[in-house]
Amino acid sequence: MSEHSRHERAAVSYRTMELVVALVIFVFGAIVVYDSARIGAQWGDDGPQGGYFPFYIGLLTCLSAVIIFAKAAFDAARGRKAFVTTSQLAMVLKLFVPTVVFVGLIEFTGIYAASTIFITFFMIWLGKYSWVKAVPVAIAVNLALFLLFEVWFKVPLPKGPIEAAFGLA
């Protein structure tokens, strides 16, 4: 860890992350236990039912999650140690939020228009390129992807109104 990040404010502590992960693991295990019991987790006349082994694996998963949770809850030192600092979290969110928007845009504009917007946005915002460079690169990349997937591999990707206007949808 660098000297600068040692003095930065923690956005999330190790303890918090371990508690959250333990809860997620527990929920996963509980779903396995519930569904295994639903389909049958007993020993039948002809051997184990379909949910017998998954049931016990789910129980072990839940038990492991409880142990992780308890260990994290009672370890005060973990609560002071930063899992991620505010500046690190900001860097992650700089990529995550636009990516979520990109995935949402695919539904309305199709993958090629959304990808063109996404590449242009990132080149200008994070790469500090000008529009003059960003737009042609984004169009060229998506033209290459269109040729690769649609023409050569014959794999149709989600299309939007722009492709429909050109008769490509």
Place of tokens 């722009």: 162
The segments of the chain whose pLDDT lies below 70 read 1-7
Would you list the domain boundaries of the chain?
Answer: 10-80, 89-165
Q: What is the pLDDT of residue 166?
A: 81
Q: What is the pLDDT of residue 2?
A: 52
Q: What is the pLDDT of residue 126?
A: 92
Query: Considering the entire predicted model, what is its pTM?
Result: 0.67
Alpha-carbon span 143 to 166, nearest angstrom: 14
Q: What is the pLDDT of residue 80?
A: 85
* Secondary structure tally for the chain: helices H, strands E: 8, 4
Q: What is the pLDDT of residue 167?
A: 80
Alpha-carbon span 55 to 40, nearest angstrom: 9
Q: What is the pLDDT of residue 164?
A: 82
Contact 88, 14 (CB under 8 A): no
Q: What is the pLDDT of residue 44?
A: 83
